């Protein structure tokens, strides 16, 4: 009898552990797949920056930006992104980066 209680308890615990990684609804899973933004590796950024049409934005604080930023990167905080700040052409590739120490 003890063995028959252990298996359902284990399965219930395993199910609870999986819940945080599962989307709440099927539409949430679709939304994640259609996200237009993605993370790039350093190598991917380097390759994309070879294209002169790419715009690069650095969201670091003033000191970090002054001490070193990617060549050509525009210093821009996320709260300062407003109409007219970014290129008007919506197909222009944009790269945003920042570094945060916590």
Tell me whether residue 7 is in a domain: yes
**48 plus 27 within the same structural domain:** no
First to last CA, the chain: 50
Tell me whether residue 102 is in a domain: no
**67 plus 90 within the same structural domain:** yes
pTM value is: 0.61
Q: What is the pLDDT of residue 73?
A: 93
Determine the Cα–Cα distance for residues 16 and 84; give it in Å rounded to an integer.
47
What six digits make up the tokens of 31?
Answer: 């939304």
**46 plus 90 within the same structural domain:** yes
How many domains is the chain partitioned into structurally?
2
31-84 confidence digits (pLDDT tens): 556 667 788 898 999 999 998 899 999 999 999 999 999 889 999 998 898 888
70 or 24, higher pLDDT = 70
The greatest distance separating any two alpha carbons of the chain, rounded to the nearest whole angstrom, comes to: 71
Tell me whether residue 87 is in a domain: yes
**75 plus 47 within the same structural domain:** yes
Q: How confident is the model at residue 15 (pLDDT cuts 50, 70, 90)?
A: very low
**55 plus 90 within the same structural domain:** yes
- Phi-psi region at 68: left, alpha or beta (left = phi > 0; alpha = psi -120 to 50): left
Tell me whether residue 18 is in a domain: yes
Range of the domain at 91: 42-97
Please report which helix (H) or strand (E) contains residue 56, including its range. strand 55-58
């Amino acid at each position: 009898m003890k063995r028959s209680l252990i298996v359902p308890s284990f399965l219930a615990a395993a199910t609870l552990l999986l819940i945080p990684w599962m989307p709440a609804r099927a539409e949430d899973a679709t939304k994640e797949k259609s996200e237009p933004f993605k993370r790039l590796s350093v190598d991917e950024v380097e390759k994309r920056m070879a294209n002169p049409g790419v715009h690069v934005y650095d969201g670091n604080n003033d000191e970090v930006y002054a001490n070193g930023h990617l060549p050509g990167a525009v210093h821009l905080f996320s709260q300062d992104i407003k109409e007219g700040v970014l290129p008007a052409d919506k197909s222009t590739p944009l790269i945003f980066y920042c570094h945060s120490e916590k």
